[in-house]
Homo-oligomer: A and B are copies of this chain.
Amino acid sequence: MDKILDPSARALLFTEARTANLFLDKPVEPKLLQEAYDLMKWGPTSMNSCPVRIVFLTTDAAKERLKPALFDGNIARVKSAPVVAVIGHDLEFFEHLPILFPHAPENKKIFENNEYATQANAFRNASLQGAYFIMAARAVGLDCGPMSGFDNGAVDKEFFGGTHIKSNFLCSLGYADESQNFPRGPRFEYNEICQVL
Beta-carbon contact of A50 and B100 below 8 Å: no
Whether A23 is near chain B, meaning CB under 8 Å from some CB there, is no
Beta-carbon contact of A103 and B185 below 8 Å: yes
Residues in B with CB closer than 8 Å to A37 are: 190, 194
Residues in B with CB closer than 8 Å to A3 are: 8, 12, 141
Beta-carbon contact of B34 and A14 below 8 Å: no
In the complex, what distance in Å separates the CA atom of A194 from the CA atom of B77? 22
In the complex, what distance in Å separates the CA atom of A41 from the CA atom of B185? 11
In the complex, what distance in Å separates the CA atom of A139 from the CA atom of B138? 15
Beta-carbon contact of B5 and A194 below 8 Å: no
Select which of B62, B168, B197 is within 8 A of A59 by beta carbon.
B197
A118-134 with Cβ < 8 A to chain B: 121, 123-125, 127-132, 134
Chain B residue at minimal CB-CB distance from A2: B141
Task: Scan A28-66; emit 1 where CB is below 8 A from any B CB, else 0.
Answer: 001001100111111110101010111111110010010
Residues in B with CB closer than 8 Å to A15 are: 39, 42
A165-180 with Cβ < 8 A to chain B: 168-169, 175
In the complex, what distance in Å separates the CA atom of A52 from the CA atom of B148? 17
23 interchain pairs (CB within 8 A)?
A2-B175, A4-B141, A13-B13, A14-B40, A17-B42, A30-B196, A37-B190, A43-B131, A43-B135, A44-B134, A46-B146, A55-B197, A56-B197, A58-B197, A62-B197, A101-B185, A103-B183, A121-B148, A123-B124, A124-B168, A125-B127, A127-B131, A131-B132
**Residue ranges of A at the interface with B (Cβ–Cβ < 8 Å):** 2-6, 8-10, 12-15, 17, 19, 30, 33-34, 37-44, 46, 48, 50, 52-59, 62, 65, 96, 99-103, 121, 123-125, 127-132, 134-136, 138-141, 144, 146-149, 168-169, 175, 182-183, 185-188, 190, 193-197
